[in-house]
Amino acid sequence: MQNTELFSLVSECIAGNEDAIDSLFRQYELGVFRLALSIVDDPLEAGEITQETFISAIKALGKYKERQSFKAWLYTIAVNCSRSHLRKRRARERLQATLTRIFRIEFEKQVLPEESFIQTEKEAALWKSLNQLNDQLRIVVVLRYFHELSIREISGILSIPEGTIHSRLHAAREQLRMALEPFNGE
């Protein structure tokens, strides 16, 4: 396709001419698909990337400058879409691996029904005791033990000195220890 034909086709696409958009898509679809496939190595994802590429390109056609190669401009969009898919894929894979580890650990931790009941009772008592702490104490306990944050991180989040965090944790542990004394004998 010559530059004047391409410029005319791009102008028609910008104007919203669906036939022009379809023509542009048909002309570059296979090249974009092959490029995406070579990056992500998955035909289904490559198809999605091809669609995303053309959607992004149609939206950005007004920014296309005639002096650069349309193919290169379109392929830049395709590469960016492909990279985005790879990042999402890696994030999904990390999440899946994490969930698999968690479920494997949970499966290995399964206990007898009697032990499960006692554990559930202890957890209920712990949560009840935790909820009875004042907000200042409860927040530091939750951040430290449930979210596994360091004293320094908690200090930064709450904007209070590290020494205050230590004091609150100590007071909270004492209150929880006294509240949970009935379970210490089991």
Mean pLDDT value of segment 135-162: 83
Q: How far apart are CA 126 and CA 113, in angstroms?
A: 20
- Out of 99, 120, 140, a domain closes at 99
Q: Which residues contact 109 (CB under 8 A, 6 or more apart)?
A: none
Based on the fold, state whether residues 148 and 179 are members of the same structural domain.
yes
- Provide the pLDDT for residue 45: 93
Q: Can you give the residue range of the structural domain that contains 8? A: 3-99
Answer whether residue 106 is part of any domain: no
Q: State the CATH number of the domain containing residue 55.
A: 1.10.1740.10
Position with higher pLDDT, 177 vs 65: 177
Q: What is the mean pLDDT of residues 77-83?
A: 92
pTM: 0.52
Q: Say how many CA atoms lie within 13 Å of 16 toward its Cβ.
A: 0
